[in-house]
Structure 1
Amino acid sequence: MELYLDTANLTEIREIASWGVLSGVTTNPSLIAKEGRPFEETIREICRVVQGPVSAEVTALEAPAMVEQGRRLAALDEHVVVKLPTTQEGLKACKVLSSEGIPVNMTLIFSANQALLAARAGARYLSPFLGRVDDISWDGTELLREIVEIVQIHDLPVRVIAASIRHPRHVTEAALLGADIATMPYAVFKQLLNHPLTEIGLKRFMEDWEKAKL
């Protein structure tokens, strides 16, 4: 399973990229607005750092405008993936853009049926939102399991992105369920690495080494 950052913060992206484990980035207009930088310039810079898929989301609500925005975004860099909402208009735009060879990430997926529709519209990526499903007292990992199973049974040419990741356990569950990608905030990405027993073990090793040098 590949690991993505869900952010537009270039400092965060550069740090995680330096670990050698970052495969891509997902963004949205809210994340980019928070950085206070020009939208297109930010997307280009993220692509230069990551050198992998970078999802950039349209802001239009009608299919023709989504298609126009999607084409402009795709022209920014070869690594751009156009991110569309899973709505009727989003499906229409996905069909057009995907037929032109532009990769599409269908986002805001909250049901297996939405995922199936997005796949049939030509999406390359499906983004079910685990955390937000949990927020309404359902099981986000169960949604992910259904979508992964449908994709595998019907051999659909899509990649499933476990999105709206809230904690490291979500990442583990996504990997066990067969998600292709997990995208998460910087704080969660850092938590994947940290463990108190690792810190204790390293401290003991160094103490023993200091004694051995005496």
Structure 2
Amino acid sequence: VDGILGEGREMAAWGPNVVVKIPCTQAGLIAARILESEGIPTGITLIFSPSQALVAAKTGTSYLIPFVGRLDDISSFGMELIGQIREIVSNYPDFKAEVVAASLRNPLHILEAALMGVPIVTAPLSIYQQLLKHPLTDVGIQRFLQDWEKVKKS
């Protein structure tokens, strides 16, 4: 616990927008409660079950950070966990934690998170870029350009 507290306090001194990311372990949860009581925002990470999220939320942490992709990697439904955590948090008005859908591996993960009302997601840039892609958009642009060329010639 002391090591996490020391590192957390050091990181918090870097600036007012720093959130200390702490693993979901017994020592991590104790440290998160202490840091939050000192006004240092924390995010509990490496959450893989609803029970872990419940216990983490009870610390007063600012963020719950479950890893969707890693659950999918072991043939579990990572986005299902996000929905369960959202439900848990909404059942307790005194929980201040925001859900962060982390380790997203495809655009559908981001869309599902948005439909669930998850305010924060983390994913590689390539996944965000895929959100913009649609074959009908590309076809439409080509048609607009062709039509424009016809107008210019007339």
**1:164 lines up with 2:103 in the alignment:** yes
Q: Give the partner amino acid of 2:7.
A: Q
List per-residue Cα deviations over 1:146-182 (Å, max 9, x = no partner): 1000111112211000111000001111111221211
Residue 50 of structure 2, aligned match among 94, 112, 116? 112
Q: Give the partner amino acid of 1:188.
A: I
Residue 89 of structure 2, aligned match among 151, 163, 166? 151
Partner-residue secondary structure (3-state), 2:122:
strand
CA distance in 1, matches of 2:116, 2:76: 17
* Corresponding residue for residue 12 of structure 2: 74
* Corresponding residue for residue 101 of structure 1: 39
Partner-residue secondary structure (3-state), 1:174:
helix
Q: Runs of 5+ in structure 2 lacking a partner?
A: none
* Corresponding residue for residue 129 of structure 2: 190
CA distance in 2, matches of 1:202, 1:101: 51
CA distance in 1, matches of 2:66, 2:117: 13
Q: Give the partner amino acid of 2:18.
A: V
> Identical aligned pairs, as a percentage?
51
CA distance in 2, matches of 1:122, 1:152: 14
CA distance in 2, matches of 1:67, 1:195: 47
Q: Give the partner amino acid of 2:78.
A: G
User: What TM-score does the superposition give when structure 1 sets the normalisation length?
Assistant: 0.69
Greater Rg by CA = 2
List per-residue Cα deviations over 1:131-153 (Å, max 9, x = no partner): 11111111111111110001111
CA distance in 1, matches of 2:119, 2:50: 16
CA distance in 2, matches of 1:123, 1:194: 36
Partner-residue secondary structure (3-state), 1:203:
helix
- Runs (4+) off by over 6 Å: none
List per-residue Cα deviations over 1:81-102 (Å, max 9, x = no partner): 1100000110011011100111
Partner-residue secondary structure (3-state), 1:199:
helix
CA distance in 1, matches of 2:149, 2:9: 60
The number of equivalent residue pairs is 152
Partner-residue secondary structure (3-state), 1:175:
helix
User: What TM-score does the superposition give when structure 2 sets the normalisation length?
Assistant: 0.95
* Corresponding residue for residue 213 of structure 1: 152
Bigger RCO of structures 1 and 2 (CA < 8 A, at least 6 apart): 1
**1:202 lines up with 2:141 in the alignment:** yes
